[in-house]
């Protein structure tokens, strides 16, 4: 389900987590985009860290957007469930452990034929968020007994920003390379896409049921990315 100006699904109220989440996203409207920075874990290899895969980009640790009202961070969080996507009105450095071996900016190049070039200098005129409802559990003990009953959670997995020149999507997802069509959602990485058909393909492959118990969630996320996040 997608939320925009309307209340969609089960909203926890304006004072709850979802209300604050949607308020932060809504506050992007009217801001003018001035810069874009993709962040990845530290690259110890001799080659430049890859991020450009044509109609989608990979920003493992998140994206910092420069605007006329200050920096904005789009990154993955466990606010609702490990992991969704979220917007913060502050620099990405507030969410990363920076240093000599810490995360670094890897792109993009926003000149020439960049997909970002037509958007720089223009304003965000609308926003939207795609929420997925996941069925969790039940969690089972080693003997097969149920330790915790099954339950459902609503997780924001994708954000859309609309400009006069077009729309862009940020998705909390892990690409399953070398297959560029395959992704795991939700994930503790950020993927960017411009064509709506790409996001529709990703969404169609999203698992709606996660049967692993809570105490085994770590196997589904990359420990090296979480190690560079601020507590």
Contact (Cβ atoms closer than 8 angstroms) between residue 47 and residue 181 = no
pLDDT at position 42 is 72
Which of 92, 161, 22, 151 lies closest to 171 in space, CA to CA? 161
pLDDT under 70 in the chain at which residues? 1-15, 44-46, 101, 111-112, 195-231
Contact (Cβ atoms closer than 8 angstroms) between residue 159 and residue 151 = no
pLDDT in tens, 107-154: 787 766 788 999 999 999 999 999 999 988 898 999 989 999 999 999
| Residue 146 backbone dihedrals phi, psi, to 5 degrees | -80, 120
pTM equals 0.78
CA-to-CA distance for 111 and 117, rounded, in angstroms?
Answer: 6
Nearest-5° angle of CA 17, CA 40, CA 72? 40
CA-to-CA distance for 193 and 102, rounded, in angstroms?
Answer: 26
Locate the DSSP E strands across the chain: 2-3, 33-40, 56-59, 62-67, 70-77, 84-88, 104-107, 126-136, 139-140, 146-148, 151-163, 166-172, 174-175, 183-184, 190-193, 209-210
For residue 229, the 8-state DSSP code is B
CA-to-CA distance for 131 and 206, rounded, in angstroms?
Answer: 12
């Amino acid at each position: 389900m997608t939320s925009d100006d309307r209340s969609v699904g089960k909203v926890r109220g304006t004072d709850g987590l979802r209300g604050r989440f949607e308020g932060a996203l809504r506050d992007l409207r009217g801001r003018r985009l001035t810069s874009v920075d993709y962040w990845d874990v530290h690259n110890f290899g001799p080659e430049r860290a890859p991020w450009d895969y044509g109609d989608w980009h990979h920003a493992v640790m998140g994206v910092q957007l420069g605007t006329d009202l200050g920096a904005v961070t789009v990154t993955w969080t466990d606010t609702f469930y490990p992991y969704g996507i979220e917007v913060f009105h502050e620099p990405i450095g507030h969410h990363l452990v920076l240093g000599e071996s810490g995360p670094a900016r890897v792109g993009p190049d926003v000149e020439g034929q960049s997909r970002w070039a037509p958007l720089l200098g223009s304003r965000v005129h609308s926003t939207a968020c795609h929420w997925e409802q996941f069925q969790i559990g039940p969690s089972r003990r080693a003997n097969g007994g149920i330790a915790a009953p099954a339950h459902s959670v609503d997780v924001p997995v994708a954000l859309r920003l609309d400009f006069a020149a077009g729309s862009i999507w940020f998705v909390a997802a892990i690409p399953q390379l070398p297959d560029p069509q395959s992704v795991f959602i939700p994930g503790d990485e950020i993927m960017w896409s411009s064509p709506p058909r790409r996001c529709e393909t990703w969404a169609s492959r999203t698992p709606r049921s996660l049967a692993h118990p809570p105490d085994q969630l770590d196997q589904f996320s990359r420990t090296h990315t979480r190690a560079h996040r601020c507590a």
